[in-house]
Structure 1
Amino acid sequence: MISPQDFLVNWNEEIYGLIHYNEKIIHSFSFSKETKDFLIKAGFPESAPPFLTFESADNGGGIRLSEIQNELGTMYDKFIYFGFTDSGNPICIDESKSQLVYIDYDNKNKVVLINSTIEKFAESLLVYVEFIREVKAANGRKAYIEKNIPKGLVEWISSALRKIDAAALTEGCFWTEELGSFSE
């Protein structure tokens, strides 16, 4: 599992800036020790492929989802909001499990797993950035956006993500949906 320090060394902060969270705010939640350490020492990227955006505490990140979406009800109290997907769905950490998830507004507010832990998410982002770099090297600057991706690279990223977090590649999960979009 990647440490916050290793993530900081390997993440290209010049391209994808980082958001750091206040220790006091993070310690107010019942996250695992590892999740708290990662958020305090490394944080989240401001943005990251595939089209994810994270928000600082000043912009609404690091609060209970039910505080910003009170129509969701108390069953969503355990979700701490940190950002959103390209579709505007909130990215949260499930406080009870320390899993990174998003709430799919278009699918009856279904909870969709992104990664089992924040560390596995960080590792997944690093290999995904490498995947995009390889796609562009193989098929040109616009290849990723145009989904012009060699089958071998799709197989490579699928295998790499599965090694990091097999649960995140089960049916209905974020990474499975993302990789499935390359075969449409």
Structure 2
Amino acid sequence: MITPEEFSDKWDVISNGPLIKFNNQDLMNSGFSDEVKRFLSIGGLPETPPPYLEFTSPQFIPITNIFNMPEEFKKYWLLGTTSAGDLICITEKEEDIVLLNNGDNYKEIFVNTSLNQFAECLLTYVNMIDKAIEVNGEDAFIDNDIPEVVINWLKNELERVDIKCMQPGFFWYVEWENLFE
């Protein structure tokens, strides 16, 4: 599993944008593990990584403190959003990364088993884009001109990082499937 230091070192801020690091004080007031707190404050999350995600608010609070949502959503702490406006959260006790689908009454969709695995999957996805560009040119990802061998490489790497994330219907599986369209 990738450490926050390794993630920070491997993330190319020039090509892929800055890392947003969370405030230590905000993290201290949460009940999350030291591992999660350490990752968010040292490694951070990319500001706008592919596939069309956004982590621009380093506020670390339950989503019910931000949005008018029922009490049952208090276990979700906001990390970021997708381009469709879905919320990317970490669950309070399990520390899973999930997506709350705003088009389906905020139905929970599994993303990753841990924050470390989520960060490593983001790196893997960026590496897939780089591989596609190497083979098919600068617009390969934008034009969805990704060689099948690269798409298969992505699947194998995502499974290596977090086997659970590639189950049908889960976030990374859907993103992988979309590459075939």
| TM-score band w.r.t. shorter chain | over 0.9
1:67 and 2:65 are equivalent in the alignment? yes
Q: How many residues align?
A: 180
Name the residue aligned to 1:8: 8
Q: What is the CA–CA distance in structure 2 between the aligned matches of 1:39 and 1:120, rounded to whole Å?
A: 13
Q: What is the CA–CA distance in structure 1 between the aligned matches of 2:115 and 2:14, rounded to whole Å?
A: 21
Shift of 1:32: 2.1
Name the residue aligned to 1:30: 31
Q: What are the superposed Cα offsets for residues 33-90 of structure 1, whole Å, 9 maximum, x if unpaired? A: 2111101111111111111100233xxx3121112221x2011101111210011111
The ranges of structure 1 where at least 4 consecutive aligned residues each deviate by more than 4 angstroms after the TM superposition are none
Q: What are the superposed Cα offsets for residues 107-126 of structure 1, whole Å, 9 maximum, x if unpaired? A: 22111111111110111111
Q: What is the CA–CA distance in structure 1 between the aligned matches of 2:96 and 2:33, rounded to whole Å?
A: 10
Q: What is the CA–CA distance in structure 2 between the aligned matches of 1:14 and 1:31, rounded to whole Å?
A: 31
2:8 and 2:44 in contact (8 A); partners too: no
Name the residue aligned to 1:55: 56
Corresponding residue to 2:147 among 141, 144, 150 = 150
Q: What are the superposed Cα offsets for residues 97-145 of structure 1, whole Å, 9 maximum, x if unpaired? A: 1111110011221111111111101111111111100111111211112
Q: What is the CA–CA distance in structure 1 between the aligned matches of 2:97 and 2:179, rounded to whole Å?
A: 23
Name the residue aligned to 2:97: 100
Secondary structure, in 3 states, of the residue corresponding to 1:63? Answer: coil
Amino acid at match of 1:92: C
2:98 and 2:111 in contact (8 A); partners too: yes
Secondary structure, in 3 states, of the residue corresponding to 2:31? Answer: coil
Corresponding residue to 2:80 among 67, 83, 87 = 83
Flag structure 2 segments of 5+ consecutive residues without an equivalent: none
Secondary structure, in 3 states, of the residue corresponding to 1:30? Answer: coil
Alignment RMSD, CA only? 1.2
1:20 and 1:56 in contact (8 A); partners too: no
1:169 and 2:157 are equivalent in the alignment? no
Once the two structures are superposed, the pairs formed by residues 99-138 of structure 1 within 5 Å of their partners are 99-138=96-135
2:19 and 2:45 in contact (8 A); partners too: yes
Name the residue aligned to 1:160: 157
TM-score, structure 1 as length reference: 0.93
Amino-acid identity (%): 32
Q: What is the CA–CA distance in structure 2 between the aligned matches of 1:82 and 1:75, rounded to whole Å?
A: 18
Secondary structure, in 3 states, of the residue corresponding to 1:66? Answer: helix
